[in-house]
Structure 1
Amino acid sequence: MVTKNITSIELKTDSNREFFLVHGYTGSPTDFKKLPYLLNQKFDANVRIILLPGHGTKVEDLDDVTYEDLINALTVELEKDIKLGREIVIGGVSLGGLFALLLASKYSVNGLFNIYSPYVLKFPFNSKGLALAGKHIKYWKKLNISARKREMREGLFSYSYIHGNGLSILKRASNELQKNISNVICPTISISSNTDSISRRDSLDILHNNLGSIIKKKRRFSTRQHNFLSHNIFFSEAESEIYEEIINFVESNSLFSNLIQQPKRVVAIVPSYNEAPRIGNVLEVITKVNVIDEIIVVDDGSIDSTEEIVKKFKDVKYLRNDKNIGKAESMERGVRSTNASILFFCDADLINITKEIIQDIITPVIDGKFSMFIGLRGNIMQKTVHLFAINSGERALTREVWEKLPYYFKYKYRVEAGLNYYVRKYFGGFGVKTFNYSQPIKEKKYGFLRGTYLRWSMNIDVFLAYLREIIETYI
């Protein structure tokens, strides 16, 4: 049963650029939702998504479709486009992601994105019992999906059943890829989520580590949308972020030879929790900094008038967490809501901060002199103990640094110490400069008892970050 008949998607332009996309098993070209049209418009590129053999009609038409039928159909079409001399970026979702990787292991392409590629299956999909069952039970009824998901799929193609042959085809594709994955040498981004219903949790890491690509990136989203036998992250709340992630990867790595490099965009991200008395003064300054293109305040569940004050600044984007999740997680949310290539993080309670100070922190990163630059405050504590000084919240860094920072460090107050360690180890160090500005001490802001408790909580987080550094360095 299908909800809508479907055909291949062919978006044409006069350019030599092409995105060759591969949909999933019991899926269709509509698997990618808006992505083909965004790629077509953004890059003036041809976009092709051929309808795989047996697909687009009824599930019974998949009865005799084999792995060879699918890979051969893709190979024939890709070779046609290569003979036209096109610059090709391949992409795929689910089984289509495995096929995209297989094609990239054989043909010279400009780049690759694979989404939800089930490289290493989880139980029970890796069991022989389920594989045997698939040979005897042709059609597996899909579980009921939420009203929200039905709404997201409205007007798009879908089957009501999964075909039993799908698992054996998927395993065959995975086995073939394991033999050839080191031959994938083009720039590659691999995307998955924490709720992938088919792949093992470490599947993304194993795939990423075995690629032969020098330029490669992995991204694991946190989503709540996926149910058993539902395997397409485009039908989740992360949809828009995935579009941005793919477009940014194509742009930042210039996957097409005649792409014009976009100017570097700078975003100021201000995590805030109950800083109503102070955040207005900080925003007054940030809004006057010429090199900043975008300002985002992430309110970490404040119960004071922070929202009211922030919304007085018309050019400031306001995000509010439903509950208090911590500084690092708020910073992460800010990053995910922008496509800026340079990130400036700034605390919301600064005293005597100026636009000149902020510009002096950001400029060395814009100019490419450093991957991260830290502004040191004039606090007594920071003047006395250098270890505390370099954990300053005012810093500019490239998006690449943030994306590569391990998740262990993106937790509460570990984040600054974690950034220091990671940039020192993997990006050749960072720049620092002392400026005449400060921050009120916690004991003054919150009272002696609560302030002392919060300070020691922060110190413990910082200690854990440095402990991790020591362990990774010497053990």
Structure 2
Amino acid sequence: MKEYISVLIPVYNEEEKIEKTISAIKDIELIDKICVIDDGSKDNTYEIISIIDNIEVIKISKNRGKGNAMQVGLNAVISYSDIIVFLDGDLGESSEEVIKLIKPIINSEAHVSIAKFPKAKKKGGIGLVKKLAKYGVYLHTGVLLDTVISGQRAFRKEVLENIYFPTDYGIEVGTTIDILKKGYKVIEVDVLMHHNETGRNLRGFIHRGRQFIQIFKTLIRKTIS
């Protein structure tokens, strides 16, 4: 019996790529549902997604964070879905690589699959955020993963029924720790996905600074909880 597969795409101000992201996965036969959750976008994202056929669109009136948008989407599909996939809205045509995340879950190779992106084409930061996330998860679980902060993930339903989504940049780290501590198997999958890269400019360093602080706070909470 075929398992029901839903893809959830939380978005905030993704007018440039969201249509291409959706178009690239609409004809994948394994996918039964595409649900896009607009997290209070201030650009034309909602206008674009609201006229695309054969997808579900959920609009959140005010931006409340990616974790909240993920939870809203999850609440809408979890009752009838067996496998649930999360994708970012800025993947463009590379979203078609999602099939590589789905197949290991269908084949019972793991409970969770995480996309491992190719090496970035342009220089970003100096790797502090990724190292903090990677070794923070290792210290909590004894499992060494390279792609802890990747948001492109496929889950068995049972996993998502047993974890909580924080709303800040610590979401991937926090949920990864919870998943591993509960004994679920996680695998990393090489994909040819790409999305908007943060450069070495003031905006980029501010973004990575916020990530670092929120991931650090997440790790502290996990230590004392």
Q: Which TM-score applies when normalising by structure 2?
A: 0.81
Larger Rg: 1
Q: 2:150 aligns with which of 382, 392, 406?
A: 392
Change (3 A) 1:284 1:352: closer
| Paired residue secondary structure (1:328) | helix
Correspondence 1:297 to 2:53: no
Counterpart of 1:363 in structure 2 is 103
Q: Tell whether the 8 Å contact from 1:299 to 1:306 is kept in structure 2 after alignment.
A: yes
* 2-structure distance, mates of 1:316, 1:428: 30
* 2-structure distance, mates of 1:378, 1:270: 21
Correspondence 1:416 to 2:172: yes
* 2-structure distance, mates of 1:420, 1:443: 26
One-letter amino acid matched to 1:459: F
Give the fraction of aligned pairs with identical amino acids, expressed as a percent: 26
Counterpart of 1:436 in structure 2 is 192
Correspondence 1:375 to 2:133: no
* 2-structure distance, mates of 1:429, 1:461: 25
Counterpart of 1:234 in structure 2 is none
Correspondence 1:337 to 2:76: yes
Structure 1 residue 471, shift from structure 2 partner: 4.0
Q: Tell whether the 8 Å contact from 2:114 to 2:154 is kept in structure 1 after alignment.
A: yes
Kindly indicate whether structure 1 or structure 2 has the higher relative contact order, using CA contacts under 8 Å at least 6 residues apart: 2
Counterpart of 1:165 in structure 2 is none
* 2-structure distance, mates of 1:390, 1:311: 32
Q: Tell whether the 8 Å contact from 1:443 to 1:451 is kept in structure 2 after alignment.
A: yes
Structure 1 residue 280, shift from structure 2 partner: 1.1
Correspondence 1:276 to 2:15: yes
Counterpart of 1:347 in structure 2 is 88
Question: Which structure 1 residue ranges, 5 or more long, are not aligned?
Answer: 1-261
* 2-structure distance, mates of 1:367, 1:394: 18
* 2-structure distance, mates of 1:458, 1:319: 26
One-letter amino acid matched to 2:49: V
Q: 2:3 aligns with which of 252, 255, 264?
A: 264
* 2-structure distance, mates of 1:352, 1:311: 19
Counterpart of 1:403 in structure 2 is 161
Correspondence 1:463 to 2:216: yes
Structure 1 residue 467, shift from structure 2 partner: 2.9
Question: Which structure 2 residue ranges, 5 or more long, are not aligned?
Answer: 135-145
Q: Tell whether the 8 Å contact from 1:376 to 1:390 is kept in structure 2 after alignment.
A: no
* 2-structure distance, mates of 1:410, 1:347: 17
Structure 1 residue 410, shift from structure 2 partner: 2.4
Q: Tell whether the 8 Å contact from 2:64 to 2:167 is kept in structure 1 after alignment.
A: no
Residues 219-246 of structure 1 show CA distances to partners (whole Å, capped at 9, x for unaligned) of: xxxxxxxxxxxxxxxxxxxxxxxxxxxx
* 2-structure distance, mates of 1:412, 1:289: 31
Residues 334-374 of structure 1 show CA distances to partners (whole Å, capped at 9, x for unaligned) of: 0111131211000011255152x211101111222211000
One-letter amino acid matched to 1:465: T
Moved more, 289-298 or 344-353: 344-353
* 2-structure distance, mates of 1:269, 1:351: 15
Change (3 A) 1:462 1:304: same
Q: Tell whether the 8 Å contact from 2:110 to 2:187 is kept in structure 1 after alignment.
A: yes
Counterpart of 2:143 in structure 1 is none
RMSD over equivalenced CA pairs, Å: 2.3
Q: 2:207 aligns with which of 442, 450, 454?
A: 454
Return structure 1 stretches of 4+ with deviation > 4 angstroms: none
Residues 371-411 of structure 1 show CA distances to partners (whole Å, capped at 9, x for unaligned) of: 100011124369x75637321111001222122113xx422
Change (3 A) 1:352 1:263: closer
* 2-structure distance, mates of 1:271, 1:443: 23
* 2-structure distance, mates of 1:335, 1:359: 20
* 1-structure distance, mates of 2:59, 2:204: 24
Correspondence 1:319 to 2:75: no
